[in-house]
Structure 1
Amino acid sequence: MPIAILISSLSFSQEEASEINKKQYEKRVYTTASIVGKGEITIDGKIDEEAWNVVEWSSDYVEFEPDVGTAPTEQTKLKIAYDDKNLYVAFKCYEKDPSTIERRMGRRDDFPGDWVELNIDSYNDDRTGFSFTISASGVKGDEFVSNNGNNWDSSWNPIWYVDTQIDAEGWTAEMRIPLSQLRFGNNEEQVWGLQSTRRYFKNEERSLWQPVPANPPGWVSEFGELRGLIGLKPQKQLEIQPYTVAQLDTYEAETGNPYRDGSDTKLTGGLDAKIGVTNDLTVDLTINPDFGQVDADPGAIALDGFEIFFQERRPFFVENKNIFDYNFAGNQDNLFFSRRIGRTPQGSAYGEGAEFADDPINTTILGAAKLSGKTKDGWTLGILESVTANEYADFVDEEGNEDEVLVEPLTNYFVGRVQKDFNDRNSYIGGIFTATTRNMADNLQFLHSHAYSGGLDFQHNWKDRKYYVEGSSVISNVRGSAEAITNTQYSLTHLFQRVDASHVEVDPNKTSLTGTGGRFEIGKGSGGNWRYNFGGNWRSPELELNDLGFLRQADEIRQYANVRRFWNTPTSWFRQANIGLNQFTSFDFEGNYNRIQYEVNGYVNWKNNWWTEGGAAHKPRIFSNTVLRGGPRWRWSDENYFFLFAGTDGRKKFNMHVGHVNSWSQQQNFGLQRYVLRFFYQPLNTLSLSLITEYEQNPNKTQYVTERSFNGTPRYVLGKIDNESLSATLRVNYNINPNLTIQYYGQPFIFNAKYSNFNYVNNPIAEDLNDRVTWYDNNQISFEEGVYNVDEDKDGTTDYSFGDPNFSFVQFRSNLVVRWEYIPGSEIFLVWSQGITGIGDPNNNFNTIIDNQLLSQRPQNTFLIKATYRFVL
């Protein structure tokens, strides 16, 4: 449907939606009481103990989705009580026909079927909270909420107890939450924020205990209040969780290679601990952490040469990640990227004349600790310290001598983060400091010896948090040998050697670099039907963060603007909808106007709970400083693209998504065709399956190949690339009960790239592609024994050569995990992982590559048993 028609057809609901959005809800209060001396509460889901009579039921939930502000189809009631050690919560979820209660099972934090949730802001700071969710089937969900509901951290796994029951009126749930799992002040009388959400699965409906208008200014700031908490004593948490792992690796032996004899075994152990330093600050410790049950990263290839960003998956670093987050320029640019800790060693034994080598996959983390929390005075604190070991690679040289070489030095990583709330919690200011210090060695002088970064950020909200202004600033400093700093200047992130750049140049004598960055944004974030923002960010040429942060590209100034219109009142044909317009421009620090882009996108949730989202963009100006890897600024032809995705009702046992992305440029300079199919099937409440497949074609007539010299003049050689990739991700989850699950993950990934029609850069910023490059004719280029020879001046003598750039990459990774939480907080894992990685023949089709490079290869197998026990002291 054209955008204009969509806007016109949706606008009839504007007046009704505006009236609902103007509605202001009074803050509700629930008054709890202590059950000390009134008897005990047994967590069995029956809510029949005498102690429950000390508090009253509270009801009158109000619908939030899809029809905000109306009465829900089914009502819900809650009770809250407490004693010296625990908070007790009871829910009664009415359902006229109990047979329609959806009792789907899932992994922890999976939120399947019907569920009810409790949110507690025990700091009472309007920004952070603790969330506890229980499904009708007994599956737990728990998340730490921060940034007023913009971040939900599901890696937080507290110890708490719950049970559910089905009865003639619906279903009930009882919770016991130890006070040691919460953080709160030491006031004689506590006032906490309180919210509860129920999902009524049959109608895909959300109702709230504390009513909230559409497009609220936040989540936690809109909570009601929990009162009556008298004389609570903060519980200083002390938990110790040792673990042990037994591991066997099997793989295909390599003749003559002493490091690949067919199998390896190891037995390791370590310790995690959580210590409550004060009632609101906690120390997390890990010694020799193990991440063996973590999912593998998805397969990916980057033809542009930039590092691929992968999400952090390791539990120690994921938990409380939001406290240390400092994203300052959009995308993934961040002062703290925890995957730098324990990274793949940056040196290699193969540079030491090795015939066979055993290069480590990761650097050993000797230990890590983090102090985090929020005080009653509004200070949010986070300190992380980690040390990684000297990492050595063993090798055998051509004469058979064995030796080892240092490939990653002993390194200390430090992050400190602080924020302070003020102005009745409508504003904050904060800061961050990071440091990386390496114990340098002679053979690793290409690394920075020291890397520091720091920043200041702020946010201010006004008019009931409808409007906001926020900003951040960053400074970085890296130090090291002249070799290390020269390498940084030449890196793809910086490219100081660019031949047409007058504002940067390589200084081979420098031993440090200092850069800056930052962001400023102002906008309307809530209230009514409109949201918008305007802003900009910058990264100076010398900004360098990649020792402990993530920075894709320096030397950029960007301006952006976004506006979005919401329709939150259901109609006869949709439940919710929105449409947005986005625009941005970018420049480099020399003042070159490099890019402008306009995009429109929208989303509709239809009446039958199917959904559609789509968008289109126009890019009339695209220049890049990085395409020629140090060569001159390059112009891409104008680009247009659109995307369209749709999905069926996610409540159904079988549902699916389908999507397509289509990009094309003038003169067919480049293009993109991406097809996505996602299937989800739950044949049983205890069994769920998903299959996500993606196929992509990304042709390009001017893909960078190499740089050569012709009569003393640089020749930037490009070629037409026809590349395609295929991936399929299968997940199977079988839940024997909420505490015993079997999970399978498997993903084959194939990437194939073929080059032809080679050319070289003529006028890199010409508008016409035929003026931008010159194609070699058949008398100029020939192919022999894997090498292209170029006789550019046709004098019968080869002027330069380059290797065959065709390649094919194949990968298969899988994980089978049995997880048993035999008591709350203590687990046993049985893991079987498989992996195949190889280089295929780019002349083959996908079927042949699958047969020859995947199915016929012997995979590497890893078997491990991990056991943990959590002592709560």
Structure 2
Amino acid sequence: MRKILFISVLLFSFFGYSQKKVLQTKFISDNIIIDGKLDENIWKSVPAAKDFIMFQPDNGKLIPENKKTEVKVLYDNDAIYIAAAMYDDEPKKILREIVQRDNFGASDIFGVFVNGFNDGQQDFRFIVSASDGQADCIGTDTNGEDYSWDAVWKSKATITNFGWVVEMRIPYAALRFSGEKKQTWGLNFFREIKRDKHKYSWNFIDSKIGTFTQQTGVLEGIENIKTPTRLFLLPYSSFYVNANSQQKTYGTIKGGLDIKYGINDAFTLDAILIPDFGQTKYDDQILNLGPFEQQFNENRSFFTEGTDLFSKGNLLYSRRIGGRPSNYPTTASNEEIIDNPSSVNLINALKVSGRTKDGLGIGILNAVTEKTYASIQNNDTKEIRRELVEPLANYNVLVLDQRFRKNSSISFINTNVTRNGSFRDGNVSALVWDLNTKKNTYNLSGNFKYSYINDIEDKKGTATSLNFGETSGKYRYSIGTEILSKDFDNNDLGINFETNYYAIYGNANYRILNPTKYFNSFNTNINMYTQFQKETGKIQGNNINFNINSNNKQNHYFGLGINANPIESHDYYEPRTENRYLIFPKRMGGWFMFSSNYNNKFAIDINPSFAVLSEPGRNSYGFDIGPRYRFNDKFSLNYSFSFFRQNNNKGYIDSVEDDLNAITPNAIIFANRNVLTYSNSLSGKYSINSKMTFNLSLRHYWSFAENKNFLSLEQNGRLTDYMNYTENRNSSFFSWNGDISYSWWFAPGSEISILYRNNAANFQREIDKDFGKKVTTLLTNDQLKHVFSISIRYFIDYNAVKNKF
């Protein structure tokens, strides 16, 4: 009997794991009501997908009978329909926290992953929570899950006496597939039992293999569908009230229109005819003492939604579009700048993206920004003149991405910025490759980039990288190199900080694939990186770090790391002067991270860190702490406090003429300073239901750098005392952001949003260390701005309108 059982297990492992499962569907003409009841008789006419297998933590383990899952699929000329029954022997214990769209919180979830080309490259994922919430994303092995992508589809989840049920309707407009008469789709189903943190899939996902999208099952039976026209209109109207103590309250009404048009079943056109980003999240600004600009997240939905193609080669930093003007106004000694816009208005934007049945992905992004002027006043005559700081500009991105053998790709990317008149233009092209062996055990990736800048004088530069690694099994590694020429510049439409170097790097790591006595997951890795200045060969950067990350049996997260810069390096950027460098000392640091199980009503994150440098008294330390409490399935609050201190930090502050020094007549001045940073944030939500939510977001930030004495940078990169500098170059920056919002998805794809927002920021040279005063000063500051806005967006399906008339 034991032998028979053993042979059965082996057969199941071979046929159930090594082969793709196949699910049959059928065409229907009956009407299915999406109510989560599954009471239509047509559901009984098709087979069910079952025998789910654990993905995490115990990879390969069959789902227990009392948690079995059964899923069925039907289709018509408009959409596919999903019916899923998730059994649970304790339905009352099913977690069902109500959260906003694209969030899960503490809730069980069920997902459908569809690949219309069955090429193992990209999934369209539709997820429903036990609290009846929706989430959707585009999933790739290269970029992970992109939840900025939103589709319009219907779903309903209900709790039953045997577990819970999900019913879904996913229109073809939300998918991409070829125009063939007989369709074969990649398909997988996903279930997470949140209280156990157990994740299951219908087709087995082997965690030894470094890919997710290529291990799907197959959906067969979709034939001769007549898909409707994919044309959607999203008109919107917004009303804003702005006020502060220095101006009268005034109201503004805006309106606009977004268009989505399906060129065919594989390609889609998205266009903004009249932009309105008034309710976009504020940037979290910081005190930036370094040589590089602060990089901000993209919060405008048009530039975040479905941009996986445009992220190829890492050449697009979309905040350049509508960002700061590219030029700074020039003034005479008797002139003063009274208005210099911090951003440029967007006139319109469009993008076309999709993929052919042969695996060729095509992406086109184009945006136009308007002329922007600064206002300059003559202090003698009081006359005001305008100076053009940004001309009419066109931003364009082209991507061609050829996939082959289901797990590899070669891409060509071009970004171009053309500014009207005699302003700077930028053009960057890149060839990017991502090659994997047939069994996904090894990867060879890299790129070659070429930039051309048309400015006062033409500038051309190159950048290239090559990486090889093992991507499967318990033990994995990678090695690589990169080279950037001095004139490589992709900053017109991208972002890049360092050039003129070559580097080598490596990584080795170990992970468990199945739980042990103490851990559900455990991985450790060691990374090494060394960077050399390209012309001199001097070490420009070096780092070695060792990290451990784990989840224990109670699903608490523990992590720790040790990092070091074991060799002095030459910083060519901090001096802000060409061919000058600062010697950066040796450094040793570490961190620890604890995050308790978020399924518990009370959870907490704790993250202390420290570093010690090889200069007397130079060190840093800090911590983050973030308690959170879920009062019930509707109401929760999260608080976070961060503190970080740097003692005897050395940083650039000025460059001055030094008549006493014949060797270096221009002295580069550094400060020996203490830098302290405090950050407080509070966020919360109250969800009336899965379609209606109140949200709270507050952030107070304060950072200051207090100079102790001044130093001069010598030619050898060392710092010596400098007694001739007397200016106050202390820095103190504090800011406040506060948002209270209400969101109601009153129909599929349609939303009413009400937002009250206030914010203020201030930079000073004088440092007042009264923390409480800093908070109250911001809240009573004359610069505190108040904005109240109401925005309504309505989703119109051309076919629904056509059918009515």
Under TM normalisation by the shorter chain, which class is it? over 0.9
State the shift of 1:852 in Å: 5.6
**Aligned runs of 1:633-672 on 2, under 5 Å?**
633-668=581-616, 670-672=618-620
1:31-75 CA distances to partner (integer Å, 9 max, x unpaired)?
111122xx3211110111112122122211111111111123522
User: Contact 1:293–1:817 at 8 Å: present in 2 too?
Assistant: no
User: Contact 2:20–2:216 at 8 Å: present in 1 too?
Assistant: yes
**Aligned runs of 1:640-789 on 2, under 5 Å?**
640-668=588-616, 670-708=618-656, 709=658, 710-712=660-662, 713=664, 714-762=666-714, 764-765=716-717, 772-776=718-722, 781=723
**Distance change in 2, residues 1:348/1:592 (3 Å):** closer
In structure 1, what is the equivalent of residue 492 of structure 2? Answer: 547
In structure 1, what is the equivalent of residue 321 of structure 2? Answer: 341
One-letter amino acid of the structure 1 residue matched with residue 261 of structure 2: I
State the shift of 1:396 in Å: 5.1
Please give the alpha-carbon distance, in whole angstroms, between the structure 2 residues aligned to 1:734 and 1:852: 27
In structure 2, what is the equivalent of residue 559 of structure 1? Answer: 504
Percent identity of equivalent pairs = 27
State the shift of 1:356 in Å: 6.9
1:473 aligns with 2:444: no
1:865 aligns with 2:798: no
1:420 aligns with 2:402: yes
User: Contact 1:195–1:210 at 8 Å: present in 2 too?
Assistant: yes
State the shift of 1:687 in Å: 1.5
**Distance change in 2, residues 1:167/1:227 (3 Å):** same
1:306 aligns with 2:292: yes
**Distance change in 2, residues 1:43/1:851 (3 Å):** closer
One-letter amino acid of the structure 1 residue matched with residue 791 of structure 2: K
**Distance change in 2, residues 1:437/1:152 (3 Å):** same
User: Which one of the candidate residues 198, 206, 225 is aligned to 1:213?
Assistant: 206
1:138-175 CA distances to partner (integer Å, 9 max, x unpaired)?
000010123x3633111221111111111110110100
Which is further off, 403-412 or 641-650? 403-412
User: Which one of the candidate residues 729, 735, 749 is aligned to 1:825?
Assistant: 749
User: Contact 2:124–2:139 at 8 Å: present in 1 too?
Assistant: yes
**Distance change in 2, residues 1:570/1:474 (3 Å):** same
State the shift of 1:824 in Å: 0.6
State the shift of 1:263 in Å: 3.5
State the shift of 1:347 in Å: 4.3
**Distance change in 2, residues 1:84/1:550 (3 Å):** same
Which is further off, 305-314 or 756-765? 756-765
Please give the alpha-carbon distance, in whole angstroms, between the structure 1 residues aligned to 2:384 and 2:288: 36
User: Which one of the candidate residues 201, 221, 234 is aligned to 1:228?
Assistant: 221
In structure 2, what is the equivalent of residue 8 of structure 1? Answer: none
SS at 2:309 equivalent: helix
SS at 2:195 equivalent: helix
SS at 1:325 equivalent: helix
In structure 1, what is the equivalent of residue 32 of structure 2? Answer: 41
In structure 2, what is the equivalent of residue 136 of structure 1? Answer: 130
**Aligned runs of 1:251-400 on 2, under 5 Å?**
251-253=244-246, 261-327=247-313, 334-347=314-327, 351=331, 357-394=338-375, 397-398=378-379, 399-400=381-382
Please give the alpha-carbon distance, in whole angstroms, between the structure 2 residues aligned to 1:521 and 1:22: 35
1:676-723 CA distances to partner (integer Å, 9 max, x unpaired)?
011222112112221122111122353222223233323332221111
One-letter amino acid of the structure 2 residue matched with residue 413 of structure 1: Y
**TM-score by structure 1 length?**
0.86
SS at 2:312 equivalent: coil
**Distance change in 2, residues 1:830/1:610 (3 Å):** same
**Distance change in 2, residues 1:851/1:232 (3 Å):** closer
In structure 2, what is the equivalent of residue 568 of structure 1? Answer: 513
SS at 2:514 equivalent: coil
Q: How many residues align?
A: 773
1:609 aligns with 2:568: no
SS at 2:694 equivalent: strand
State the shift of 1:354 in Å: 5.7
Please give the alpha-carbon distance, in whole angstroms, between the structure 1 residues aligned to 2:339 and 2:639: 36
User: Contact 1:23–1:213 at 8 Å: present in 2 too?
Assistant: no
Instruction: Give unpaired runs (5+ residues) of structure 2.
Output: 1-12, 799-805
Instruction: Give unpaired runs (5+ residues) of structure 1.
Output: 1-19, 254-260, 328-333, 442-446, 482-510, 766-771, 782-789, 791-800
State the shift of 1:22 in Å: 14
1:439 aligns with 2:420: yes
Please give the alpha-carbon distance, in whole angstroms, between the structure 2 residues aligned to 1:203 and 1:21: 28
Please give the alpha-carbon distance, in whole angstroms, between the structure 2 residues aligned to 1:43 and 1:22: 35
**Aligned runs of 1:799-838 on 2, under 5 Å?**
801-838=725-762
Please give the alpha-carbon distance, in whole angstroms, between the structure 2 residues aligned to 1:235 and 1:406: 48
User: Contact 1:92–1:170 at 8 Å: present in 2 too?
Assistant: yes
In structure 2, what is the equivalent of residue 72 of structure 1? Answer: 63
**Distance change in 2, residues 1:207/1:641 (3 Å):** same
State the shift of 1:118 in Å: 0.7
One-letter amino acid of the structure 1 residue matched with residue 571 of structure 2: S
1:750-781 CA distances to partner (integer Å, 9 max, x unpaired)?
0111101322234634xxxxxx33235xxxx4
In structure 1, what is the equivalent of residue 117 of structure 2? Answer: 123
In structure 1, what is the equivalent of residue 387 of structure 2? Answer: 405
User: Contact 1:184–1:234 at 8 Å: present in 2 too?
Assistant: no
**Distance change in 2, residues 1:247/1:351 (3 Å):** farther
Please give the alpha-carbon distance, in whole angstroms, between the structure 2 residues aligned to 1:23 and 1:129: 22
Please give the alpha-carbon distance, in whole angstroms, between the structure 2 residues aligned to 1:354 and 1:817: 43
Please give the alpha-carbon distance, in whole angstroms, between the structure 2 residues aligned to 1:247 and 1:339: 23
In structure 2, what is the equivalent of residue 6 of structure 1? Answer: none
State the shift of 1:395 in Å: 5.5
User: Contact 1:718–1:758 at 8 Å: present in 2 too?
Assistant: yes
1:404-443 CA distances to partner (integer Å, 9 max, x unpaired)?
3323210011110011122x223221101111111136xx
1:175 aligns with 2:158: no
What CA RMSD, in Å, does the superposition of the two structures yield over aligned residues? 2.1
